[in-house]
């Protein structure tokens, strides 16, 4: 790593998003998602699965008042996905923990999203709600600093005995992320102090020193969160703990295996065999610096790689950076959906083997796409290169946004690239695929995760060094940046993702020397960028840099023509043989039954038609977006009782107009078929 | 039903198979499979999963000697597919039941196959082994006649309390099938008397009379077996019991549900909800006469429909026949693989929804294809129509035979139409798919089932009425048939399935009046059949009938030209869009890696090439068969590190010669890719 190359995300308080696309998504989150999620966290949404998140904090807080602790007994799991649920859902017992073992994190994610929203939209009522909730959370914290309601309520003697599957360190990570965000947004440090106390306690318990626990998180995030806490507080111990977690992961003897052996012995179960490969799900099958293939649970992987990138940025650890680059390459070249999603298989919500990218059984979890954007931004922070921003853009404009309905009222956990509602009803292999977005999930990781990335979108669009501002995503904004004491106001106008024009205008009271850098998107064949006369202009790694003295009214204009493009997959992707996907600019398009009728698989695109594609506007749920019409053919459906097999004859086809809408907007007009890939 | 139209399978003792294709398969079964299976049933095959089948009978026989019975306690299931296994596999406890609850049936299937084999190949050693085993089986039988080692060993008070999942009536069915077959083959009735005693006991326990149990088999087969027992013994009560089982099935209140409620109450579990639809797996979701769609476990379904057909043949029950025809149509038009396999999904080893015929995740159990042949023959018995024989032939020449290695030493349970060994290793959705045949299975239904259908193949090729002989399958044979006291010897010569010629020559000491009927196969576009001059010739339902006085040397010649044919699936089958399957005569062909290299999905067939197809011979495992070579193209594989997505361009292809071998012979040359469907 070259420290001179590194940049940091812009403080979102410096940015006012004016972008029609992202402005609308942020407004939806602010108006719909944040209030709704608060209700959900408090089990007040009729018909939705209860969360029990705030219930657990309240129960733990009451327990703290009484200063008594139960002895640890693992609560039984119910059938529905490892939750502990009350016998009567309407009347949970006041002292008991319910829901998933990681339920605390949902509150933290919500606070983090709320903090980002408050950064730009002061809202005393929302802030009051958060403050009140923080009181409860802090009241639940142990004197030691420990803070995880699962063990507080079920008995502290079990704490840190199942790092592999119980998410105490994951909850620590989310607590830190929310606490730093809320502190930065409001200046209030109560939650930050709680986060530091918990982190301090973990520092006491974990580390290379003799007698300390040699474990690490089963679900990663603490790694990158601790880096963030270090950057917010300057306390080296947090960086050290993060490094310890990274260094320790996957080393031999495998900690998770040792831990399992201990638990098995205690519980009289057969002791598991020595086989680290079982821990690939947790990316703990080998030391992180030796990992070459993105494997296991995709969200965990994305979070781990983000933490590795953070650490290499701060410490210049070249081996770690090389591992990040290898893993990045592996994802982008072998395991990435054209929608920016990752994690092809529902089994373990995980990366599948190289080039296994099924469309109908795809998992492509919303959170996994978010984690890929995290990883991409961190790689960008280390060294700006459009290869990272291209993928970040792909994830954010497609799968991340697809995770939420246009009205913000329902969500996808799984983001398939091909859906037949009839098949989803009948085929248990598609059990995980929903054809309409759900209101809330017992395992509600995705909705608050969408809220936090959407609310902080500016930090993905722009990063900065002292005298340089990078524009990675063309998100219309008003940005303030101080350079040598001079305050610049930079107005970015953008018609992306619908048209290929953008421009940045500088407003300043005094001339200022700095660099404005703009990404040349990979989807644009012939970008044309013009800056003010006399500026030094350099092109490097997919960015054009203008350096010089900027004066009021100086303007950079970008013409980034976006053609309708037919994409073919590498023929190693068996599922996509003989098919193409339609993109235009950063947007991946799909066909829906609402526009094209049933049996989308009978449609075929005329590859020559791409030059005659009709580009028009469509309004879905009150939101305007671009739709595309391309010429093609529709295979005739035989009569109802036609034989199953017949001698091959050239198929009877009629001319058809195939209509495509942005993938992120699918399933907003009722249930129906959808397909990203279309036969050619 | 028109009783005049009905025919019955030929007694296989009247037929000597001389056919190179079936002769070889039968020899393999006789020389390899039967001796091997006897070893397997006795747990003497090193490295194979123990069966415990004979162990259980011996244990039950010892218990009978002692005349003591344990009280029923359900043995715990181990993780591996609901088997009860000894802690130390080498040393099972002498008094305990092990293996699957239906383990007894494996012995019966073996005896049945042995009986058919003995019919044509007297073998005193084999017969002695069977006789000895029958002694053990009979010694295990209760005084009441009850005979199921699971309950005999685990406590008789549990008997008939779980008809849904415990296979007592299934074992009864297989006992009957084996007993009748062994009696017919050898004239020995010890096992037949045991079967009658068990059937008599079931007659006492089950029936419409007050106080009797109103249940029916969870796994069907007793229905058709009881018809067979009725036909062998003339005892009406067996026919009545079969009809009771059929009439009772799926009626309201649902017996399986009531039974589950009783068990739940007894065991203090939550009582299941009133919902008959749960029982579709068992074809018990509605009365059999009302069933319209083939659903649930495919083998059970095939056995049930066979029993329904038997009953309608004997009783003229039109409603039952109409249901059989509906279900037949549903299978053939919506749920049949081009290989003659049925049951597309591994979930429940079951029929999937209409037109869901996945190639790679296919289940297509060998036993299910066998059950389809059972059903087809019974429909043929009712009324000869080539639509039934075409499908019977498809199943028998393709999936049934594919279930066994050419050397008879290993078996497939699951018969996929597309295999990538790399995918099977990595993808848990393909866990059920094996890329090489297995030596034996804990659940060893398929190998002995293959043995019994193969050994009795003649009964599928020929059925008869008093003065008519039907040739359904062109299986080279010497057949004897008595007509009005005159003994005809009929020699069928056939080059099918490799070439389209067959001829039947009549040898007789005296002229005899009768009808010889020959099927016109659906795969033949222009059949030409010539009989002796002066014969009455009628064509009907895909059969040509020659009626008249036959004299020595009279001969019917059939020219059944078989072209290489490219088949397209109904476009409702999404998996097969843009692909074809190659057939020639009754044989379905496939591509293997051994002939075509890796990445079969990169190959594409030139549809015009079908007329230039090269037909040659290939020898696999010492067996000669036809292979086909067709012109096509191979898509070029991009370099190792090529991008995952790129702008669409006409794919680079080179000319290629695609080689096809019979599907039944795949996976006999090591592990590799295989595909039945190829892109066009």
B445 is catalytic: yes
- Asked, as a colleague might, if the bond just before B427 is cis with ω within 30 of 0, I would say no
**Residue of chain B whose alpha carbon sits nearest to that of A601:** B574
Q: Which residues of A touch B352 (CB under 8 A)?
A: 426-427
Determine the Cα–Cα distance for residues A455 and A475; give it in Å rounded to an integer. Answer: 13
Q: A644, A654, A674, A680: best mutation site toward chain B, by most B Cβ within 10 Å?
A: A644
Provide the percentage of residues in chain A whose pLDDT is more than 70: 98
Determine the Cα–Cα distance for residues A343 and A372; give it in Å rounded to an integer. Answer: 10
Determine the Cα–Cα distance for residues A80 and A582; give it in Å rounded to an integer. Answer: 38
Task: Determine the pLDDT at residue B144.
Answer: 95
B442 vs A128, residue with greater confidence? A128
Q: Is the pLDDT assigned to residue A468 strictly greater than 50?
A: yes
Per-residue HEC secondary structure of B261-294 comes to: HHHHHHHCCCCCCCCHHHHHHHCCCCCHHHCCCC
**Residue of chain B whose alpha carbon sits nearest to that of A581:** B648
Task: Determine the pLDDT at residue B440.
Answer: 65
Mean pLDDT, chain A, rounded, equals 94
Q: B356, B586, B605, B645: best mutation site toward chain A, by most A Cβ within 10 Å?
A: B645
Cα separation of the two ends of chain A: 44
Determine the Cα–Cα distance for residues B343 and B364; give it in Å rounded to an integer. Answer: 5
Determine the Cα–Cα distance for residues A71 and A61; give it in Å rounded to an integer. Answer: 17
Phi/psi-derived region of residue A610, left when phi > 0, alpha when psi is between -120 and 50, beta in every other case: alpha
Q: Which residues of A touch B343 (CB under 8 A)?
A: none
Q: CA-CA distances (angstroms) from residue B590 to B401, B416, B625?
A: 14, 11, 13
CATH of domain B466-559: 2.60.420
- By C-alpha distance, which of B587, B583, B589 is closest to B565? B583
Catalytic option among A171, A203, A445, A524: A445
B62 vs B105, residue with greater confidence? B105
Helices then strands (H, E): number in chain A?
A: 20, 23
Catalytic option among A127, A223, A349, A673: A349
Strand-pairing partners, residue A479, are A15, A490
- Rounded average pLDDT over B590-615: 95
Work out the pLDDT band at A71, boundaries 50, 70, 90: confident
The string of pLDDT tens digits covering residues A182-194 is 999 999 999 999 9
At how many degrees (to 10) do helices B168-186 and B222-233 cross?
Answer: 30
Task: Determine the pLDDT at residue A268.
Answer: 86
- Rounded average pLDDT over B471-493: 97
Each domain of chain A, given as residue ranges in start order, spans: 52-266, 293-457, 466-559, 564-640+647-679
Alpha helices of B73-186 — where are they, by DSSP H? 104-120, 124-140, 149-154, 168-186
For domain A293-457, which CATH number applies: 3.40.190.10, 1.50.10.20, 3.20.20.70, 3.40.50.1820? 1.50.10.20
Question: Would B3-459 and B466-559 be classified into the same CATH topology?
Answer: no
- By C-alpha distance, which of A331, A338, A298, A329 is closest to A575? A338
Work out the pLDDT band at B2, boundaries 50, 70, 90: low
Pairing between β-strand A468-471 and β-strand A512-519 as defined by DSSP bridges: parallel
Determine the Cα–Cα distance for residues B70 and A254; give it in Å rounded to an integer. Answer: 47
The reply to whether residue A570 touches residue B427, judged by beta carbons under 8 angstroms, is no
**Residue of chain B whose alpha carbon sits nearest to that of A338:** B645
Catalytic option among B349, B393, B418, B464: B349
Task: Determine the pLDDT at residue A3.
Answer: 59
The string of pLDDT tens digits covering residues B361-398 is 999 999 999 999 999 999 999 999 999 999 999 999 99
Q: Which residue has the tokens 């191979």?
A: B634
Determine the Cα–Cα distance for residues A358 and A486; give it in Å rounded to an integer. Answer: 53
Determine the Cα–Cα distance for residues A432 and A444; give it in Å rounded to an integer. Answer: 15
- Asked, as a colleague might, if the bond just before A51 is cis with ω within 30 of 0, I would say no
Q: Is the pLDDT assigned to residue B640 strictly greater than 80?
A: yes
Task: Determine the pLDDT at residue B442.
Answer: 61
Q: Is the pLDDT assigned to residue A98 strictly greater than 70?
A: yes
Work out the pLDDT band at B441, boundaries 50, 70, 90: low
Determine the Cα–Cα distance for residues B366 and B615; give it in Å rounded to an integer. Answer: 28
Determine the Cα–Cα distance for residues A414 and A399; give it in Å rounded to an integer. Answer: 9
Report how far Cα A653 is from the mean position of its chain's Cα atoms.
42
CATH of domain B3-459: 1.50.10
E strands in A395-453 = 418-419
**Collapsing DSSP states into helix, strand and coil, what is residue B93?**
coil
Element containing residue A559 per DSSP (H, E): strand A555-559
Asked if A121 and A135 count as a contact pair (C-beta separation under 8 A), the reply is no
Q: Is the pLDDT assigned to residue A435 strictly greater than 70?
A: yes
Task: Determine the pLDDT at residue A93.
Answer: 87
């Amino acid at each position: 790593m070259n420290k001179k190359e590194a940049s940091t995300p812009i403080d979102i308080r410096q940015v006012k998003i004016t972008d029609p696309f992202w402005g609308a998504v942020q407004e939806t989150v602010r108006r719909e998602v944040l209030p709704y999620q608060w209700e959900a966290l408090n089990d007040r949404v009729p018909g939705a699965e209860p969360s029990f998140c705030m219930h657990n904090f309240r129960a733990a807080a009451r327990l703290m008042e009484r200063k008594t602790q139960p002895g640890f007994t693992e609560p039984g799991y119910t059938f529905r996905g490892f939750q502990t649920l009350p016998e009567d859902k309407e009347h949970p017992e006041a002292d008991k923990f319910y829901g998933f073992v990681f339920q605390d994190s949902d509150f933290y994610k919500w606070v983090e999203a709320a903090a980002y929203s408050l950064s730009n939209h002061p809202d005393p009522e929302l802030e009051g709600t958060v403050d009140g909730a923080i009181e409860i959370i802090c009241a639940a914290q142990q004197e030691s600093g420990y803070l995880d309601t699962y063990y507080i309520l079920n008995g502290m003697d079990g704490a840190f005995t199942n790092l592999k599957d119980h998410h105490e360190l994951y909850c620590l990570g989310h607590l830190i992320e929310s606490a730093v965000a809320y502190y930065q947004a409001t200046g209030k440090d109560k939650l930050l102090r709680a986060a530091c106390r918990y982190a301090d306690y973990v520092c006491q318990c974990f580390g290379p020193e003799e007698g300390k626990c040699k474990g690490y998180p089963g679900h990663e995030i603490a790694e990158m969160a601790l880096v963030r806490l270090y950057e917010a507080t300057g306390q080296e111990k947090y960086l050290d703990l993060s490094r310890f977690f990274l260094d320790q992961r996957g080393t031999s003897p495998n900690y998770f295996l040792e831990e399992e052996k201990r638990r098995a012995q205690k519980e009289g179960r057969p002791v598991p065999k020595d086989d680290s490969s079982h821990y690939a799900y947790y990316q703990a099958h080998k030391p992180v610096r030796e990992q070459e293939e993105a494997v296991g649970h995709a969200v965990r992987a994305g979070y781990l790689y983000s933490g590795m990138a953070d650490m290499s940025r701060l410490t210049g650890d070249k081996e770690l950076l090389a591992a990040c680059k290898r893993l990045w390459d592996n994802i982008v070249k072998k395991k990435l959906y054209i929608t920016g999603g990752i994690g092809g298989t529902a089994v373990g919500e995980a990366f599948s083997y190289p080039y296994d990218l099924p469309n109908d059984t795809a998992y492509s979890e919303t959170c996994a796409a978010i984690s890929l954007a995290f990883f991409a931004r961190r790689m960008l922070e280390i060294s700006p290169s459009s290869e990272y921003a291209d993928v970040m853009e792909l994830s954010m404009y497609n799968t991340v946004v697809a995770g939420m309905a246009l009205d913000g009222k329902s969500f996808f956990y799984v983001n398939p690239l091909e859906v037949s509602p009839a098949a989803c009803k009948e085929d248990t292999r598609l059990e995980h695929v929903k054809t309409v977005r759900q209101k809330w999930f017992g395992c509600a990781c995705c909705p608050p995760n969408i809220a936090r990335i959407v609310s902080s979108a500016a930090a993905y669009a722009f990063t900065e060094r002292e005298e340089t501002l990078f524009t990675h995503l063309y998100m219309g904004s008003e940005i303030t940046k101080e350079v040598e004491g001079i305050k610049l106001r930079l107005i970015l106008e953008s018609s992306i993702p619908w048209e290929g024009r953008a421009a940045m205008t500088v407003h300043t009271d005094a001339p200022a020397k700095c660099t404005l850098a703009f990404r040349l998107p990979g989807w644009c064949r012939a970008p044309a960028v013009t800056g003010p006369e006399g500026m030094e202009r350099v092109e490097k790694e997919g960015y054009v840099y203008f350096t010089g003295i900027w004066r009021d009214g100086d303007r950079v204009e970008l013409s980034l023509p976006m053609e309708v493009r037919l994409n073919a997959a590498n023929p190693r992707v068996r599922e996509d043989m003989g098919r193409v996907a339609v993109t235009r600019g950063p947007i991946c398009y799909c066909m829906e039954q609402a526009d094209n009728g049933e049996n989308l698989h009978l449609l075929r695109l005329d590859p020559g038609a791409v030059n005659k594609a009709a580009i028009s506007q469509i309004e879905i749920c009150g939101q305007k977006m671009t739709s595309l019409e391309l010429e093609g053919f529709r295979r005739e459906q035989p009569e109802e009782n036609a034989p199953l097999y017949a001698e091959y004859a050239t198929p009877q086809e009629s001319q058809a107009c195939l209509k495509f809408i942005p993938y992120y907007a699918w399933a907003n007009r009722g249930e129906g078929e959808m397909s990203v890939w279309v036969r050619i």
